[in-house]
Structure 1
Amino acid sequence: MKLKKTFYGGQVFVGVKETAFQSSFPWRHATEMSKILKNSFLENGMINPILIFYTDGGPDHRLTYVSVQMSLIYLFLIFDLDLICVARTPPQNSWKNPAERIMSILNLGFQSVGLMREKTEHYEKQLDSVNSLREIRKLAEKYPTVEEEVLDSVEPVRILLSNVITRLKWKDKNLKVFDPATEGEIFDFRREILKIDQDIKVTDSTQQDIKKRKLFMSLLNDHCKIAQYIFSVKKCGKTSCHVCKKPRLSNEMFESLYHLLDPEPLNCDKYKSFDQLYGKPTSENYRPSLTGKPSSEPGLPFSPSSQYAKNVEMVVLCSDCDKPRVLYSKKVVRGVRRTQLVNCLTDIQYTCGFSFDELDLEEETHV
């Protein structure tokens, strides 16, 4: 077997989803990944014992989030992996992810493609009156058939885009389209995490939640490496372990298998090589965001005050510490800009210190 010297190859899979009811979040990603692996890469009923991911830095891939960790741990268990290792790009650096290069091919395929959904049968007037994804979901809570009709209305668009995608190629292989995971599939997938700890609830998603789950906490401590940009789960190799099975790799190979290391500087210009650090204990002490000198300037480009808080009149909940945080703005946020902000908050998990500076909020126009 000829070894390839690049990670950037193989089969490309693309998902086409409706935003309101098929939004991106960790458990959906993990469910869809498990389906792709089962349907496409199983050999003799098993995939290779080591699985490696590299993702962008979005909130649905934030490796310090419990929901992300849980979804990855279950992939580790369901496929009986010896090691699963996931790394993510730093903020605003998703362009460094090699998989992002496929976007140039997709953009070429989508040139001059016009899209228009069909009208729903019963709820078009109600949908015209809503201004955010959150309001669409609330409408679906009031009228249960809204979700089905919305998905049916965009199905022709999904089929059109899927046909375009499957005609595109990467390295002589046609791209493939996978179906979005259903709510039932996601629920069944999440429920399997109970096999680790019966005390875990399907709704557990914060650090405060899992601190009470002793068995799950022991799994994190004994099998996982958790860092800002790296998360990995490795079998312990102990026969008495109630979590993982016997390693599938040979004893010699498994003994030489370690969690992914953290970079450490060799001098002021270079980092130590992989061979110099592999198998040795490393830490995040040299992460640039930790070693940088603290700024004497305030975190905001202006001094926060009650007036600037009144410009937004909104509080968000931190997904890490579960505490409410006040939003400040130098200008009044109303109309179109407020709708865009609400939509943004619907689609992200806010963490303390996050700045909305880079959001492209439209300025209001007055006639």
Structure 2
Amino acid sequence: MRMVFRWFGEGNDTVSLDQIKQIPGVEGIVWSLHHVPAGEEWPMEDILAVREQADRAGFHLDVVESVNVHEDIKLGLPSRERYIENYKRTIEKLSRVGVKVICYNFMPVFDWLRTDLRKPMADGSTALFYENSLIADVDPFELVKRIQENSELSMPGWEPERLAHLAELFEAYRGVTAEDMWRNLEHFLNEIVPVAARCGIRMAIHPDDPPWPVFGLPRIITNAASLRRLLSLHDDPANGITLCSGSLGASPDNDIVSMIREFADRIPFAHIRNVRVYENGDFIETSHRTQDGTVDIAGIVEAYREIGFRGYVRPDHGRHLWGEQCRPGYGLYDRALGIMYLWGLWDAYSRGSQPIVK
């Protein structure tokens, strides 16, 4: 596996490239142009600026997360064609700086959803938390307000320009079904996958987070059956998956290990993180350590080792440790600890039963 680390850019991240360089085995940054609104073509000069920063630090830019999909594409509106053309041109530009994987998602309105960004844990750390019953009762507008007030840094998936039109978006999705979303996703893939394939880039969809409908909005990338359907929409290696153990792991019905084995050749990018799921449907993000959550992280790394995985991996969300002030879920310390845990598992499985040579 090839270890990478998500970085939000100079001035938009509490973690520096110099700090990332000190984490063993990290070879690249996972990046995006977070200031570019969804649907707009990425400026080449901005792409080159990030490449220059990465080059100075000795990192590659192989993985982009994310090139956001405009809501008009998800809704299947006539205006989608303009945004799809912008997306194609962005793919072509990214290929010029060596990008190999583009992570994206097809979640309506919210890219992810939590009810508390800093839930206190027993050990004194805090973590992202989802309270199942609260979602059923809370006004989404109040939740958005509370989440935004508790984060000084921009949060991908919760961009101000999108949430400023929240009422209009909810109205636009009124009556939109899961099958409508599937048809619109198929149209999108038929347009962009041939471009990505020609450019040597693999598209990698991220599962819905959490993997079930919220606020009456349909969500379609939630389990193994939906991943099979996705891959069948456009049967090309350029149509792939970002297999996120945390997003899928929020549902106890999902067997991540079996998904890795089934979709082995269609996973160019993996997010590995742990969550603890409670009987009432709540879940909290824990350390990466297997015993601390309900996701079989050890089994997941073992499965990647068994299939000879050579794709990109990043530790996903981490807890907030030792008083660190950081973007929710994206501090330095817990993600660095997570990387070393993943490397430890990988090295142990790679060594197998071979004797230790001194």
TM over 0.5: no
- TM-score scaled to structure 1, two decimals? 0.28
Quick check: which one's strand share is greater? 2
TM-score by length of 2: 0.28
Bigger radius of gyration among the two: 1
